[in-house]
């Protein structure tokens, strides 16, 4: 390795780590909370290792049911937890290390591609550096580009980073393999063995498979290689068979692991394919804008913030988008021979955006993370542009400094959930989801006033069932039952088949003494989800408060029948029998609840009380010590002590 290359690589490592150094001290934010911090599979890492390969990406979290399969990413989180615990610092450090590796891979891949495309020129060059300066600049742009902040500063961006890493390695080895294969009769490659060629291809295909296990959009690499062979080499290579075979194998693995293949979602798009195409044409133009002008940045690009849904082709912005994109593709095609790097860059950029183009609805309309792998095409384009016009190298440091400043500042946005959503609501005041998320942050901190305020702001922008429900729950907790009912009425107007809405409204009716409507809503909830044990538990609680022990007992029993591990339902049955003065049966139910949930304080409290009633003061005293450890400041402790004495 020559001295210049060594210096370039050291600078790239230094810049990559330095640019994201302040992200190391961030907490869990956004989806990190669900996928990493509070994921039940992460709580018992050793027992969950095998389960990760048989589970969805969001199994046992709020993302359960979405057909996403990324076991390699989950294993990386699991390993971090095993060795360092579930500490955000180590997860962030993992992202920064992987990002640094990717920056180095971008350097080598860029150098390899420029060497390949400029072979005739390279043979006449006096130096032997082989486009190292251009590759260095390409790596720098990849290292500091602000659109990567979401991926690197957010822990769940690991899926993009790993998919990018394996795609870069896979394609790098693939072009080395095909170059050697096609030149096997030349003097340059006479000494290259068949084993070396086969090894490159084998590792390339394996890396493609690992990329797919990291994130499904890596499938674009197979389509890209097909077009690369067709457009740049004018014929298809038999080597592609391996990629196709691995892709089919991946689909089979995914299907048998999680019972589905396509990651379909209609979070934004419920319209047909033409509407999605019209709208996404504008989104593609917006992605190009973000590569050149990465400001402002948004953790959650909603339709209202940037682009509205386009119902027809004849909207001016849609027509402009189609014309612009057609011009870009036409220019790329016409310049394949005279400027192949430009054509390659365009092809790479759009190929890796295709899986997220909502041809199949994916749940997100626009996201900066979607640009992570695609941005290599932009960085390669910049490197080649500077190669063709050396004067531009003087402006590169200026742009790099601006990009670096934006990225470092954006890292602070991802410090925690409150900083993330406060920034978003301030920069994008029309983003309903941002206010909802900020409200949930305050809910976690038990700040009811700010929670309700932000939920109301979200609803003022868009009345969504999710936010209406969350607002109703907070209003009920605060005692504003009529306002909660009003919010739930709107919810049910949007989705009349939501059992949780009827259940919540029933609680509110119960609090204001409207028992007729409460019973009606409880019945509606039970009819909508007849196998939901928690609904029958809540109905049982309602009847307990009304003093109807028979109805309460029947509903608690139904809850236990549906779910024999519902500890709260066992407690409810115990309360019914206790109030009926049948203390021994009550004790059995409280004991059963504690066996299911040893730290269930309600079950423990009631078991102490029933033991006092039965005269079992020694047993009651022993339980009281455990109860005191769980609730040291509970005022009921003194009452229990008095009962024992």
Confidence at residue 627, expressed as pLDDT on a 0 to 100 scale: 85
Token pair in block for residue 174: 């693939």
User: Is residue 216 over pLDDT 60?
Assistant: yes
> Residue 270, Cβ neighbours under 10 Å: how many?
9
111-135 average pLDDT score: 72
Model confidence at 517: pLDDT above 80: yes
Find residue 301's DSSP bridge partners. Answer: 366
Residue 485 has pLDDT above 80, yes or no: yes
Top-confidence residue, 11 or 120: 11
* pLDDT greater than 70 at residue 182: no
**Residue 471 domain-assigned (yes or no):** no
Q: What is the mean pLDDT of residues 214-241?
A: 89
Instruction: Give me the DSSP letters along 525-573.
Output: HHHH-TT-HHHHHHHHHHHHHHT-HHHHHHHHHHHHHH-TT-HHHHHHH
How much of the chain exceeds pLDDT 70, in percent?
Answer: 90
pLDDT band for position 130 (cuts 50, 70, 90): confident
Task: Give strand pairing partners of 366.
Answer: 301
- Say if residue 296 is preceded by a cis peptide, omega within 30 of 0: yes
What pLDDT does residue 238 have?
82
431 burial (CB, 10 Å; 0-12 / 13-18 / 19+) is buried
Is 72 part of a structural domain of the chain?
yes
**pLDDT at position 579:** 94
Say whether pLDDT at 129 is over 80.
Answer: no
Over the range 603-624, which residues count as b (16 or more CB within 10 Å of their CB) and which as e? bbbbbbbbbbbeebeeebbebb
| DSSP label of 34 | I
Residue 361: count other Cβ atoms within 10 Å of its Cβ.
19
458, 439 contact by CB (below 8 A): yes
Give residue 123's pLDDT band: very low, low, confident or very high (50, 70, 90): very low
3-state secondary structure 197-263: HHHHHHHHHHHHHHHHHHCHHHHHHHHHHHHHHHHHCCCCCCCHHHHHHHHHHHHHHHHHHHCCCCC
Alpha-carbon span 165 to 494, nearest angstrom: 43
- Token pair recorded at residue 315: 């909207």
Domain of residue 400, residue span = 3-261+370-411
What is the model's pLDDT at position 126? 40
The pairs formed by 622-626 with CB atoms below 8 angstroms and a separation of 24 or more are none
Residue for token digits 């002590």?
641
Residue 408 pLDDT? 98
Q: pLDDT band for position 265 (50/70/90)? A: low
Of 359, 386, 411, the residue that ends a domain is: 411
Higher-scoring residue by pLDDT: 263, 644 = 644
Going by C-alpha positions, the residue among 159, 141, 31, 11 that lies closest to residue 406 is: 141
CATH number of the domain residue 592 falls in:
1.25.40.10
Q: What is the pLDDT at residue 48?
A: 63
Q: Do residues 4 and 389 touch, judged by C-beta distance below 8 A?
A: no
Residue 511 CA to residue 162 CA, distance in Å, equals 52
Mean pLDDT for 282-302 is 92
Stated pTM of the model: 0.87
Whats the size of the chain, residue-wise? 645
Predicted pLDDT at 492: 96
Q: Which residues contact 284 (CB under 8 A, 6 or more apart)?
A: 321, 325, 350, 353, 357
Q: Minimum mean pLDDT among 214-228, 383-397, 625-639: which range?
A: 625-639
Q: pLDDT category, 312, cuts 50, 70, 90?
A: confident
Q: Of the residues 353, 388, 411, which one is the last residue of a structural domain?
A: 411
Q: Phi-psi bin for 446: left (phi > 0), alpha (psi -120 to 50), beta? A: left
Q: Determine, yes or no, domain membership for 132.
A: yes
Which tokens go with 358? Answer: 């909502």
Asked whether residue 531 is domain-assigned, the answer is no
Tokens of 447: 């700040």
Q: Which two tokens stand for residue 513?
A: 């003494």
Q: Which pLDDT score, from 0 to 100, does residue 232 have?
A: 85
- Residue pair 610/583 in contact by the 8 Å Cβ criterion: yes
Quote the radius of gyration of the chain (alpha carbons, Å): 30
The whole-chain average pLDDT of the chain stands at 89
* pLDDT score of 124: 46
Residue 361 forms part of a structural domain = no
pLDDT tens column, 374-427: 999 999 999 999 988 888 888 999 999 999 999 999 999 999 999 999 999 999
Q: Nearest CA to 206 among 175, 262, 249?
A: 249
Write down the pLDDT at residue 270: 61
What the block records as the tokens of 547 is 């003093």
- What integer pLDDT is reported at residue 117 of this predicted model? 87
58 pLDDT band, cuts 50/70/90, is: low
631-638: average pLDDT: 78
pLDDT of residue 60: 58
Q: Tokens for 130?
A: 């082989």
Number of domains in the chain: 2
**Residue 339 counted as domain residue:** no
d(CA 394, CA 383): 13
pLDDT in tens, 613-629: 888 888 888 888 888 88
Q: Which of 64-78, 265-279, 476-490, 528-542 has the lowest mean pLDDT?
A: 265-279
pLDDT classification of 630: cutoffs 50, 70, 90: confident
Which of these three, 361, 396, 411, is where a domain ends? 411
Q: Which of 296, 247, 303, 299 is nearest to 280 (CA)?
A: 303
Please provide residue 303's backbone torsions phi and psi, each rounded to the nearest 5 degrees: -60, -35
Taking Cα atoms as reference points, which of 474, 415, 469, 404 lies closest to residue 141?
Answer: 404
Grade residue 59 by pLDDT with cuts at 50, 70 and 90.
low
Give the mean model confidence (pLDDT) for residues 507-524. 94
């Amino acid at each position: 390795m020559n001295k210049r290359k060594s210096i370039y690589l050291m600078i790239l490592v230094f810049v990559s780590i330095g640019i994201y150094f302040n992200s190391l001290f961030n907490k869990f934010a956004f989806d990190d909370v669900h996928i990493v911090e509070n994921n039940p599979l992460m709580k018992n890492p050793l027992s969950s290792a095998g389960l990760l390969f048989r589970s969805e990406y969001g199994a046992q979290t709020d993302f359960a049911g979405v057909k996403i399969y990324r076991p390699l990413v989950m294993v990386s989180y699991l390993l971090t937890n095993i060795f360092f615990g579930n500490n955000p610092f180590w997860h962030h450090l993992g992202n920064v290390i992987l990002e640094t590796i990717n920056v180095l891979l971008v350097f080598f891949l860029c150098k390899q591609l420029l060497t390949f495309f400029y072979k005739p020129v390279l043979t006449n060059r006096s130096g032997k550096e082989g486009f190292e300066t251009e590759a260095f600049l390409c790596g720098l742009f990849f290292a500091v580009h602000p659109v990567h902040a979401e991926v690197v500063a957010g822990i769940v961006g690991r899926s993009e980073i790993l998919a990018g890493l394996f795609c870069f390695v896979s394609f790098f080895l693939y072009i080395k393999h095909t170059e050697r294969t096609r030149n096997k009769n030349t003097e340059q490659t006479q000494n290259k063995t068949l084993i070396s060629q086969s090894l490159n291809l084998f590792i390339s295909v394996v890396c493609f498979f690992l990329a797919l296990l990291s994130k499904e959009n890596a499938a674009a690499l197979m389509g890209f290689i097909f077009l690369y062979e067709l457009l740049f080499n004018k014929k298809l290579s038999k080597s592609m068979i391996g990629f196709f075979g691995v892709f089919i194998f991946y689909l089979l693995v995914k299907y048998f692991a999680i019972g589905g293949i396509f990651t379909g979602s209609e979070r934004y798009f419920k319209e047909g394919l033409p509407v999605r195409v019209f709208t996404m044409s504008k989104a593609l133009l917006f992605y190009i804008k973000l590569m050149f002008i990465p400001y402002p940045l948004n953790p959650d690009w909603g339709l209202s913030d940037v682009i509205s849904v386009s119902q027809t082709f004849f909207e001016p912005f849609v027509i402009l988008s189609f014309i612009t994109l057609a011009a870009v593709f036409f220019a790329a095609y016409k310049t394949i021979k005279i400027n192949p790097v430009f054509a390659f860059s365009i092809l790479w950029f759009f190929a890796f955006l295709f899986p997220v183009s909502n041809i199949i609805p994916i749940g997100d309309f626009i996201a900066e993370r979607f640009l992570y792998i695609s941005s290599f095409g932009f960085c390669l384009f910049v490197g080649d542009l500077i190669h063709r016009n050396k004067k531009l190298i003087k402006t590169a440091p200026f742009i790099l400094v601006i990009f670096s400043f934006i990225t470092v500042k954006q890292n602070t946005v991802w410090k925690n959930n409150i900083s993330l959503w406060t920034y978003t609501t301030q920069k994008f005041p029309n983003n309903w989801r941002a206010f909802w998320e900020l409200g949930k942050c305050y809910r976690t901190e038990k700040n009811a006033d700010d929670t309700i305020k932000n939920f109301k702001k979200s609803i003022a922008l868009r009345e969504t069932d999710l936010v209406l429900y969350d607002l109703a729950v907070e209003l009920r907790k605060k005692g504003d039952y009529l306002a909660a009912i009003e919010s739930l009425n709107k919810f049910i107007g949007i989705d009349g088949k939501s059992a949780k809405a009827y259940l919540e409204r029933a609680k509110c009716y119960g609090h204001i003494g409207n028992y007729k409507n409460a019973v009606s809503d409880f019945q509606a909830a039970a009819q909508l989800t007849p196998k939901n044990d928690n609904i029958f538990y809540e109905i049982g609680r309602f009847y307990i408060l009304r003093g109807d022990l028979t109805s309460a007992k029947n509903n608690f029993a139904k809850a236990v029948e549906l779910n024999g591990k519902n500890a709260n339902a066992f407690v409810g049955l115990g309360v019914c029998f206790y109030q009926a003065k049948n203390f021994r049966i009550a004790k059995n139910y409280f004991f059963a609840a504690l066996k299911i949930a040893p730290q269930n304080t309600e079950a423990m409290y009631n078991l102490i009380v029933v033991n006092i009633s039965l005269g079992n003061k020694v047993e009651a005293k022993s339980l009281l010590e455990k109860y005191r450890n769980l609730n040291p400041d509970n005022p009921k402790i003194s009452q229990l002590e008095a009962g024992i004495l």
